[in-house]
Amino acid sequence: QGTPTQAIRGPVVTFRGDPFKDGLDATMVYESDAIVAFGDGKVTHFGPADKVKAQLPDSVQVRDYGKDSLITAGFLDSHVHFPQTPMIAAFGEQLLDWLNKYTFPTERKYADKAFASSVAKTFLAEQLKNGTTTSCIYCTVFPQSVDALFEEAERLNMRISAGKVLMNRNAPDYLLDTTNSGYDDSKALIRKWHNRGRLMYCITPRFAPTSTPDQLQSAGELWDEFPDCFMQTHVSENVDEVEWVKSLFPDRKGYLDVYDHHKLCRPRAVFGHGIHLTEEELGTMHTTGSAISHCPTSNFFLGSGYLDIYRAMRADRPVRVGLGTDLGAGTSFSILLTLNEAYKAAQLNRQKLTGAQGLYLATRGTAHAMYIEDKVGSIAPGMEADIVVLDMKSTPIIDYRMQFVEDIHEALFVQMTLGDDRAVQATYVAGKLQHERPSIH
């Protein structure tokens, strides 16, 4: 179990399983007054405060966050572009024009390592401020942008998955690699960073239109050489994009088949969006163990549409679904705010997303989608101590609204609908306090 060196006290909600599959009663753990103790980066104790207190050595100080807090596992973001931090809120375009007009010119700047390092610092600090402790991150085509991000993540001891974007066509020349250089650069980055401390490498073909079949093939072969790496790309985000892929790959059955053909559909594959996937494609996602990252703020911002998560998760062929901000097409770093939009996406599909289901998606659900739920995403002895402390009364209107709340379920829904970075009081990464919001009470 390990030796505890620190402990925190307050109400805790965490999950032991998947509430979408097995229901809330069997999976949600709520302790109204709990202690979570940790040492050596891992949780050593979790349970009712009185019980755990008796088990802790006297030398361990307990920091009490009080009854208006909520302790949960750190949030996860399964799809985000760190280089797009400087261009969040770019006006007026849908996906393909947005890429050409804003994204590609911005990503050009990451040839400069110093610029990349400064954005990486801002980006990870902002994530911690929002309670996000693990994410799956796109860098740019430039290997130095990957070094910049991993160096800062290593300094913070964050568990992240990230990689160099592979793109060898259909973008400006200044942003293109080649099949060979993309393969060689990715391989060197894997050797340098993959499984170094908490860092994980993610093979990252941007999306089918910006890679030749040859480059997608080489990405699949690289993955065969390093099978415990991750893989991320985009799929079926926008209807014009889907049509473009069909015209670029006339021999394939559809968009997902382009990836499946090159052996890119497997466990640890995270596909951004997947809004317009067909029934057959969802079947392939299920059979291959691939995951969808649901990015509602981005989907609404770019006018792409809205994913039906219940269709994706359908019990007879469930597809793993994680939550993503997709910043900078996404409009917020906040996973709470992303849940607010996920609720609205569900409404448009005539479905419900409860506060507890939302918190599951923000934590263990996304860890499950990324195949790292044995490490992060829940609070239990042995899990890595990535922990968020929420302030349940972080703004005047939330404070007011909370007076009328009748149970933890309603409280969670109020936080997911009204909360943002101000609700994040403290963020612990591998047991170390890495963000503390200035007091507002």
Residues making contact with ligand GUN (CB under 6 A): 81, 95, 99, 103, 206-207, 234, 237, 298, 326, 329
Chosen from Zn ion, ligand GUN, none, partner binding at 411 (C-beta under 5 to 8 Å by type): none
* Token duo for residue 126: 């902002």
Tell me how far apart the alpha carbons of residues 176 and 209 are, in angstroms, rounded to a whole number.
13
Chosen from ligand GUN, Zn ion, none, partner binding at 294 (C-beta under 5 to 8 Å by type): none
Chosen from ligand GUN, Zn ion, none, partner binding at 9 (C-beta under 5 to 8 Å by type): none
CB of 139 to ligand GUN, least distance (A): 11
- The reply to whether 326 sits near Zn ion by the rule CB under 5 A is yes
Which lies closer to ligand GUN via its Cβ, residue 150 or residue 301? 301
Helix, strand, coil percentages, rounded to 5, for the chain:
45, 25, 35
Q: Per CB under 5 A, which region of 1-9, 103-111, 142-150, 322-330 contacts Zn ion? A: 322-330
Sign of the Cα pseudo-torsion (212, 213, 218, 219, in order): positive
Tell me how far apart the alpha carbons of residues 56 and 432 are, in angstroms, rounded to a whole number.
19
Chosen from Zn ion, ligand GUN, none, partner binding at 103 (C-beta under 5 to 8 Å by type): ligand GUN
H, E, C per residue of 278-314:
CHHHHHHHHHHCCEEEECHHHHHHCCCCCCCHHHHCC
CB of 232 to Zn ion, least distance (A): 9
- Which of 272, 328, 355, 365 touches Zn ion by CB under 5 A? 272
Which lies closer to ligand GUN via its Cβ, residue 76 or residue 165? 165
Which lies closer to ligand GUN via its Cβ, residue 48 or residue 172? 172
50's enclosing H/E stretch is helix 49-55
Which parts of 104-245 are beta strand (E)? Answer: 132-138, 159-163, 165-166, 200-205, 230-235
Report whether 175 contacts 141 (CB < 8 A).
yes
Report cis status (omega within 30 of 0) of the bond before 382. no
Which lies closer to Zn ion via its Cβ, residue 162 or residue 398? 162
Q: How many CB atoms lie within 10 A of CB 88?
A: 16
Chosen from ligand GUN, Zn ion, none, partner binding at 233 (C-beta under 5 to 8 Å by type): none
Which lies closer to Zn ion via its Cβ, residue 39 or residue 272? 272
Report whether 69 contacts 92 (CB < 8 A).
no
Q: List, in sequence order, the alpha helices (H) in 230-274.
A: 239-248, 255-261
Tell me how far apart the alpha carbons of residues 237 and 209 are, in angstroms, rounded to a whole number.
12
Beta bridge mates, 323: 294
Residue least distant from ligand GUN (Cβ): 329
Which lies closer to ligand GUN via its Cβ, residue 206 or residue 393? 206
CB of 328 to Zn ion, least distance (A): 9
- The reply to whether 296 sits near Zn ion by the rule CB under 5 A is no
Chosen from Zn ion, ligand GUN, none, partner binding at 291 (C-beta under 5 to 8 Å by type): none
- The reply to whether 254 sits near Zn ion by the rule CB under 5 A is no
CB of 138 to ligand GUN, least distance (A): 7
Which lies closer to ligand GUN via its Cβ, residue 110 or residue 413? 110
Query: Residues interacting with Zn ion, by CB under 5 A?
Result: 272, 326
